[in-house]
Structure 1
Amino acid sequence: MVAFESFFEHTGSKSIPHPSKEALDNVYEAIIKEKIAGKSGYYNLPFEDKAIIDSQDYIVKHQDFLSQIKNLIIIGVGGSSLGTKAIDTMLCHLPCRKKIKLKFLEHTDPIEICQTLQNVERENSLFLIVSKSGTTIETSSLAKYVLDRFQLLEHKKHLAVITDEYSPLHQWASKHEIHCLNIAKNVGGRFSVLSSVGILPLMILGYDTSLILKGAKDFMMSFLHRKEDHLIKKAIFLAKSRDRYHTNVLFSYSSSFKDFNAWYVQLWAESLGKIDTYGKKVGLTPISLIGSIDQHSFLQLITQGSMDKTVTFLNINRKNYSEPTIPDIDMEFLESTNFVNRTSFAKLINYQQIATMQTIQNEGIPTDQIRIDYLCEESVGILIIYFELLTSCVGKVLDINTYNQPGVEFGKIRLKEMFESQSKNH
């Protein structure tokens, strides 16, 4: 269903040796210890049914109301929104997808807020407040706005909450008798899409979320049984060659992946940009590209710019997507483009991806490839858990805490100080 091609198949440099069995074992054992210790709860999400049960319970209790909604508005930022958006963008072509508009209030930009809520009416909308800590300033500010604008505390069926158990947001929801779904405290926001954070909205939209979890579970089991050591090899390669290749490009060949790319950027950057146990600042920089669009911009930099990048290609097996085709039309003065006539667009983008990949490989730039047969619930589950596990493995090799974000917290503290200082001056 999903095939993974290793960096080492195209990287012949002797300066990048294959990791030893001992090195692979060390990383694997470190991940197992981390899983057992409960360092992060995302390892367990594919095996749990809590998110499914809690979401089904909510949907059954509000079945009549949910059958009439036209808008699902998620109020949340970062890990509270990016994963759900990514999965919906990848799967929205499926016939099971209900005709509900999925909107996100995740930005404090006033223009974006007004545009998102344009033509939204309370009567046919569900507002879902998602915040792990319950105190995220963007989320709480946007929540206050919709509470006031749509008078939601007087119409509580239009409101639901997902947050940590006993968080300030949970306490607020309990006081006002608003339906609240909880996630485990050790599940970080950017690793939370397989919890109720993603499962509830995706289930409301009509997807078979049990298949998403199945895909993730099957891959996780395969990893635990040492059948996915290519992932550990990739993690060691990326971490150990970070001074040489400090920028990692995800070059996805379908617009269906544009929001997945954004999810990957947060996961990679926020997890891996840290200070290690020796006090050294380390990190890897993610870059998100969509083919074939970005061939006309970023490819030039990759091929003839600094040799400091690796490139992962993500694509779909185009044999399973044969329509539409390019008509056999001879446009005067454009005869040089006729070589693609009667070709499917799927074949065209596939050849564009191959040509781009070969061009990059010919420059000696490390590449690997992830190829999906069908973009469905199971394959998306595999993709999500693959990148989460890869992030954890790289974090282990870098000797960092993959799951905290002190740099982000510093920014939150400074923001609060600025407002408090301004208040004193007035």
Structure 2
Amino acid sequence: MSDPLLSYDPAGVMLPENGITPDDLAGMVNQLEEVRDEVLAESQLWADGVTPEDKVPFDAGFHELPGRLLSEYRNRGADSEIGRIQVAADRLAGLVDRVVSLGIGGSYMGARALMEACCHPYYNELPRDRRGGRPRITFEGNNVDNDALRGLFDLLYPDEGGGIADQWGIAVISKSGGTLETAAAFRILLEKLSDACDDDPAKVAQRVIPVTGKSGKLFDLATALGCPDIFAVPDGVGGRFSVLSAVGLLPAAIMGLDIVKLLEGADAMNEHFRNTHADENLVLQYVGVCHLLETKRGCDIRLLTTWGKQLESVGLWYDQLLSESLGKQERGAMPLTVVNTRDLHSRGQQHQEGKRDKLVTNLIVDKFQRDEIEIGKSDNNQDQLNELADKTLVDVLDAATKGTNQAYRDDNRPTADLHLPSVNEHTIGQLFQMLMLATVSEGRLIGINPYGQPGVEAYKNNMNAILRS
């Protein structure tokens, strides 16, 4: 039996005021089909090695990447890229008890999302046998934070009789190797790693796995170090679209996640996007709802609300995806990740009674991974919870979800539900691919090139000029 697909329910946006109607959405079907055809045609152009001048920059290589990697794996096994990633991850996991993953933006956010979604909630705090024999994962090189890096040194170089990790390695992820935050962290940590390896270059090389371009500063440095495993950031795959390449697959494999299942989920979403009519196509329905609420009702703030903690970093990954792809030409919706019920006690007032500029998309998990916890009966009933003794925390979350969305609907505030049957590698692979396809489709719908991020380059150029002046 194949794993179930995600599902999308936009019923909560069908409101008499401040929402849309079923006819509005039905009226977009032909337009959405045309956009889907354009995205599929772009994927084929990329596969054929054709880059239309009017579409530059053109990074459509992400689309069919999952299918290509899976096909290669089924045909070549251990000699495929997936096979080599698994072997390298197992090799490093056997050498060390902690891996410092260096990268920023798309070079780290997907991996962080995979860890929080698919690993134990307290993965790094568990003993090694409870982690399946896999190393702890620490993310660095994603900011310029002197004290945080100093604090990491305390873990990597524990005082006598204390500390956590005494054997560690580095996974460094940067297409060019020129991004200063990651490059500076790598230089500093590489020196520390050399000290930890008694200045043995061969030992250092064994403990560093780079993911980078086929040329550039990091590639040259990794070659000089003699790293036995160097994985490529594929051509035509921009950073924020790279989670299903070695950029995300290597850290996932180091954590012991099933990267084949991850890619199979993405491939299943590709199949759905390609072959399902627009009125039942969850990618296109999502795009249509978002577009209509923005253009008809001014809802240019999109709240991705996760109910529970484990999908917060998925939301943060999506923040980058939408912001960098569509935030151009003084246009593009503003994405915000919300974690409920936590944020109901901080942002909830604004969402309920603030400006009517928000579309809420609830990311709802239908089946949790662990046994449900009952509130239970107590002789000390000062909290007056005995009447809820047989209710579980899942029941409480479900009531909070329904109650919150009912309050929004009663005030004509639009909400939609995106359901994950459960949280595992297959469903997260689906979700990643769905949101990437939706973002590209919306870009083409509104006439914005979803690739490239020229605005980000401005701060980089200024920072480098200031430092070198």
- TM-score scaled by structure 1? 0.90
CA distance in 2, matches of 1:98, 1:254: 27
Deviates more, 1:219-228 or 1:313-322: 313-322
Residue type of the alignment partner of 2:39: I
Native 8 Å contact 1:75 1:127 kept in 2: yes
Deviations 1:52-106 (A, max 9, x none): 8335325536855531421011011110011011011111139875442110112
Native 8 Å contact 1:162 1:181 kept in 2: yes
Cross-structure match for 1:424: none
Q: Secondary structure at the match of 2:184?
A: helix
Given the alignment of the two structures, is residue 306 of structure 1 paired with residue 355 of structure 2, yes or no?
Answer: yes
Cross-structure match for 2:408: 360
- Unmatched 5+ stretches in structure 1: 276-280, 422-426
Of residues 234, 243, 268, the one that matches 1:184 is 234
CA distance in 2, matches of 1:332, 1:323: 22
Residue type of the alignment partner of 2:267: K
Q: Secondary structure at the match of 2:63?
A: helix
Residue type of the alignment partner of 1:127: I
Aligned residues: 415
Cross-structure match for 1:78: 105
Q: Any residues of structure 2 matched to 1:13-162 within 5 Å, and which?
A: 13=16, 16=20, 17-18=24-25, 19-38=27-46, 39=58, 40-49=60-69, 53-57=80-84, 59-60=86-87, 66-93=93-120, 97-105=132-140, 106-120=142-156, 124-151=167-194, 154=201, 155-162=204-211
CA distance in 2, matches of 1:219, 1:297: 35
Deviations 1:129-149 (A, max 9, x none): 100222111110111111122
Structure 1 374/308 Cα, relative in aligned 2: closer, same or farther at 3 Å?
same
Native 8 Å contact 1:320 1:373 kept in 2: no
Q: Any residues of structure 2 matched to 1:155-234 within 5 Å, and which?
A: 155-178=204-227, 179-227=229-277, 229-234=281-286
Deviates more, 1:35-44 or 1:246-255: 35-44
Residue type of the alignment partner of 1:418: I
Of residues 437, 444, 452, the one that matches 1:396 is 444
CA distance in 1, matches of 2:263, 2:86: 18
Q: Any residues of structure 2 matched to 1:259-278 within 5 Å, and which?
A: 259-275=313-329
Structure 1 158/22 Cα, relative in aligned 2: closer, same or farther at 3 Å?
same
Offset at 1:257?
0.8
Structure 1 415/295 Cα, relative in aligned 2: closer, same or farther at 3 Å?
same
Residue type of the alignment partner of 1:311: V
Native 8 Å contact 1:318 1:346 kept in 2: no
Native 8 Å contact 2:376 2:388 kept in 1: no
Native 8 Å contact 1:282 1:398 kept in 2: no
CA distance in 2, matches of 1:97, 1:211: 18
Q: Secondary structure at the match of 1:150?
A: helix
Deviations 1:194-220 (A, max 9, x none): 000111121122111100000110111
CA distance in 1, matches of 2:337, 2:92: 38
CA distance in 2, matches of 1:5, 1:61: 38
Structure 1 331/395 Cα, relative in aligned 2: closer, same or farther at 3 Å?
farther
Native 8 Å contact 2:369 2:423 kept in 1: no
Offset at 1:418?
1.5
Deviations 1:361-408 (A, max 9, x none): 222122111222221111111111111111111111221111110000
Residue type of the alignment partner of 1:48: R
CA distance in 1, matches of 2:91, 2:466: 46
Deviates more, 1:400-409 or 1:355-364: 355-364
Of residues 251, 255, 276, the one that matches 2:309 is 255
Offset at 1:4?
2.2
Offset at 1:168?
2.4
Native 8 Å contact 1:96 1:207 kept in 2: no
Structure 1 332/383 Cα, relative in aligned 2: closer, same or farther at 3 Å?
same
Structure 1 238/168 Cα, relative in aligned 2: closer, same or farther at 3 Å?
same
- TM-score scaled by structure 2? 0.83
Q: Secondary structure at the match of 1:118?
A: helix
Given the alignment of the two structures, is residue 381 of structure 1 paired with residue 401 of structure 2, yes or no?
Answer: no
Native 8 Å contact 1:24 1:229 kept in 2: no
